[in-house]
């Protein structure tokens, strides 16, 4: 029987194992030097001024919502086609979630639909946006920033799928997802199927020093040991202050060491993902199978490779019989029982609904061989 080909898979090298082993033999397992090293290297990679490593991508989103002061009076717009955490972070802070439909060709929020939604709303109804770089396709954050500024909105960029993704701005400059030039904050995930696999972990990037400093406190119970930030007299070398209610959202040195090692080869992994995508694209374009988010003018990071096909459910089962384990990303938020009770009843999201009826994520990870890719292609074409 052929080896199972899942939709995503991590890769651990001897260099990764050595990096973690060295940290295990060091004086720090958490709150040590590898955390800062990882943060600085990641910030440099995406082009942001600051990065704050945290326990996972959901924790990153939660802290972003907190520093943007989301509360029971806040209403925030995000995409229906995303993992629940993109919206849950707003609910954690008692905010209200609203949704905007996606572009049918990319899976990213449709900026023209968003423009209509904002124009039709009472002044001041909305506070912010959570924009998702879906499947690794980079949202045009310059355009979203311009629209957000018109309405006085902040932006959190959910770049969990988009390590290394980029787009060209109006000046022809390459802008990496999460570089902080357009979004107030951006977040990434280091779950095993992501580009950088740490087991768990996440990171927040920003160019705003004040937000950065507050994030550092909030990830550690709202506590600071920085004497320049004390509100009371410094009582000695042991002294610290808890200045607000935070969380234990730290990322340990062990995982940061793994992240540093994985970051060193992330571009190689992205290049392989793009090579695999070209193989899929060529085969499917010749057979009229629609692909989501293909573009030669943007740096697609291909966390996911998604086809849109009418007989999705049947194909899902048939491919599994061939040991090809595909996945559906995602059940739309407005289809989930929890959000059904909270979202406006008059939502009209035809592109999102149509997408969900047809989407299927095929195997996409750097260790897929050309033979594996051809096996998937042959199976899809024979069964579709």
pLDDT digits (tens, 9 = 90+) for 67-100: 999 999 999 999 999 999 999 999 999 999 999 9
CA gap 252, 258 in Å, rounded: 10
pTM attached to this predicted model: 0.97
Residues 278 and 151 in one domain: no
Residues 152 and 15 in one domain: yes
Q: What are phi and psi of 232, to 5 degrees?
A: -125, 170
Domain limit, last residue, from 233, 265, 297: 265
Domain limit, last residue, from 198, 230, 265: 265
Residue with tokens 């392989």: 272
Number of domains observed in the structure of the chain? 2
Q: Residue 296 pLDDT > 70, yes or no?
A: no
β-sheet bridge partners, residue 220: 248
pLDDT in tens, 129-179: 999 999 999 999 999 999 999 999 999 999 999 999 999 999 999 999 999
Domain range for 13 = 5-265
Residue with tokens 């000046």: 171
Q: Residue 15 pLDDT > 70, yes or no?
A: yes
Torsion angle in degrees (nearest 10) through CA of 305, 193, 51, 14 = -120
Q: Residue 1 pLDDT > 70, yes or no?
A: no
Task: Check residue 88 and give its pLDDT.
Answer: 98
Task: Check residue 130 and give its pLDDT.
Answer: 99
Mean pLDDT of 192-212: 97
Mean pLDDT of 242-256: 98
β-sheet bridge partners, residue 306: 361
**How far lies 56's CA from each of 61, 82, 256, 354, in Å?**
9, 16, 12, 31
Residues 222 and 191 in one domain: yes
Residues 251 and 298 in one domain: no
From the centroid of its chain, how far is CA 341?
26
Q: Residue 226 pLDDT > 80, yes or no?
A: yes
Q: Computed over its alpha carbons, how large is the radius of gyration of the chain? A: 21
Domain limit, last residue, from 250, 265, 280: 265
Residues 103 and 199 in one domain: yes
Residues 248 and 147 in one domain: yes
At 312, which CATH number?
3.90.1150.10
CA gap 229, 78 in Å, rounded: 34
């Amino acid at each position: 029987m052929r080896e199972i080909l899942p939709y995503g898979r991590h890769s651990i090298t001897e260099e990764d194992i050595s990096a973690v082993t060295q940290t295990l033999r060091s004086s720090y397992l958490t709150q040590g030097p590898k955390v800062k090293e990882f943060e600085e290297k990641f910030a440099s990679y995406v082009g942001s001024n600051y990065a704050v490593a945290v326990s996972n991508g959901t924790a990153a989103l939660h802290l972003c919502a907190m520093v943007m002061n989301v509360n029971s009076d806040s209403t925030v717009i995000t995409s229906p086609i995303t993992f629940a955490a993109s919206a849950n972070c707003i609910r954690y802070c008692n905010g209200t979630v609203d949704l905007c439909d996606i572009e049918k060709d990319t899976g990213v929020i449709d900026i023209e639909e968003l423009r209509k939604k904002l124009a039709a709303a009472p002044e001041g109804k909305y506070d912010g946006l959570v924009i998702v770089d879906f499947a690794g396709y980079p949202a045009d954050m310059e355009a979203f920033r311009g629209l957000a500024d018109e309405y006085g909105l902040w932006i959190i960029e959910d770049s969990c799928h988009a390590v290394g993704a980029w787009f060209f701005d109006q000046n022809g400059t390459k802008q990496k997802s999460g570089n902080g030039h357009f979004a107030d904050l951006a977040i990434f995930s280091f779950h095993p199927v992501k580009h950088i696999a740490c087991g768990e972990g996440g990171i927040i990037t920003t160019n705003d020093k004040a937000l950065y400093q507050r994030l550092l406190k909030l990830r550690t119970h709202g506590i600071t040991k920085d004497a320049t930030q004390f509100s009371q007299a410094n009582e000695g070398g042991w002294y610290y202050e808890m200045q607000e209610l935070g969380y234990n959202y730290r990322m340990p040195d062990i995982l940061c060491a793994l992240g540093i090692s994985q970051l060193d080869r992330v571009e190689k992994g992205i290049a392989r993902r793009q090579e695999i995508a070209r193989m899929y694209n060529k085969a499917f374009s010749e057979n009229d199978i629609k692909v989501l988010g293909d573009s030669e003018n943007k740096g697609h990071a291909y966390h996911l490779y998604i086809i849109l096909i009418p007989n999705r459910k049947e194909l899902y089962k048939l491919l599994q019989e061939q040991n090809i384990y595909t996945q559906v990303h995602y059940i739309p938020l407005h289809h989930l029982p929890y959000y059904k009770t909270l979202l406006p009843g008059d939502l009209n999201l035809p592109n999102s609904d149509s997408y969900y009826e047809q989407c299927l994520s095929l195997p996409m990870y750097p260790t897929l061989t050309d033979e594996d890719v051809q096996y998937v292609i042959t199976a899809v074409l024979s069964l579709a």
